[in-house]
Amino acid sequence: MERVVVGPAEAGERIDRLLAARLEGLSRSRVKALILDGRVAVGARTIRDPGYRVNAGEALAVTVPPPEPAEPRPEPVPLDVVYEDADIIVVNKPAGMVVHPAAGHQSGTLVNALIAHCGASLSGIGGVRRPGIVHRLDKDTSGLMVVAKTDQAHQGLAAQFADHGRSGPLKRGYLAFVWGVPQRPKGMVDAPIDRHPHARERMAVRPGGRFAITHWETVERYAGTAGRPVASLLDCRLETGRTHQIRVHLAHIGHPLLGDATYGPGFRTKAALLSPEAAAALAALGRQALHAYMVSIQHPRTSEYLEFRAELPPELARLRRALAAGT
């Protein structure tokens, strides 16, 4: 049980706001849930109104139940842990791993693996002992993901990712192997994204969709067997975080990702323009050639600036070498 005595300067404050400020590790939404559940008392009175205004000298008692077990089961799935402390964990997700359990993917997900890896160090997000997922990667996209281990860290990271780095330190970098070579060395795609009108599992650039901006810069250009430009490597930075954003935006400007069967099926025949080595590397890839290689954040508790990087996985490194060898 946590106890708080209201100071003179705190008189008139909302009880949910005061407790969230005074009790470390509890977000305001978590405090509100505790109040509504009858777990906060002022003296001998149970307070069920989150908007209750406290008085100086009042003694507040908060009963915080132990976190409930997570609904997904822990599974000993190997993880590539880039960084971990008491508040956050940064992992390098492999291609093929789903983030959340869902229909058709009830096991083997990143969440299952994190529950097993972190164990009791997950202090309970929203009252449940589970990892706080604040951003996602597609199943077949590899790279860095930052995950919260505590309610406080989840709240801080969620605010940073919701802002998408427009006013804070958050940055996300992706390496994208695309068909063709953009005419300019760098550029921006500003195009709204919404569900595809006919294929609900796909996204599309549509008027009236959600605001979406992707910045890109050409890193390398690759020639094909005829000596003409056939593909390139782009460094992409997100200003927003829409579903399939990079894949949709790059296809929209005529440069879909290599290996993207969803947004670049019309480009499959271009594999004939690649060297035999590059064509073989692409065929073996079996997924879109996209990797989240960089993420920077402000630590949600210490405010320290942290930047993490992950090298290309072996299958993309092989594709890069093969493409470069033909140039």
Half-sphere exposure of residue 230: CA atoms within 13 angstroms, side-chain side: 23
> How many Å apart are CA 240 and CA 229, to the nearest integer?
30
d(Cα 173, Cα 296) in Å, to the nearest integer?
Answer: 9
Query: In whole angstroms, what is the distance from residue 273 CA to residue 279 CA?
Result: 8
Evaluate whether 323 touches 274 at the Cβ level (below 8 Å). yes
Backbone angles phi, psi at 312, to 5 degrees: -60, 140
Nearest alpha carbon to residue 3 among 64, 60, 66, 63: 60
The phi, psi pair for 32, rounded to 5°, reads -60, -40
Beta bridge pairs of residue 91:
81, 145
Among the listed residues 95, 98, 138, 96, the one whose alpha carbon sits nearest the alpha carbon of residue 114: 98
| Annotation says 85 is catalytic | no
Q: What is the DSSP letter of 192?
A: -
HSE-up of 284 (CA within 13 Å, CB side)?
14
CB atoms within 10 A of CB 184: 8
Per DSSP, 120 falls in state G
Q: Of these residues, 49, 85, 87, 138, which one is catalytic? A: 138
Closest CA to 98 of 83, 84, 108, 87: 108
- Three-class SS state of 167: coil
Catalytic positions are 138
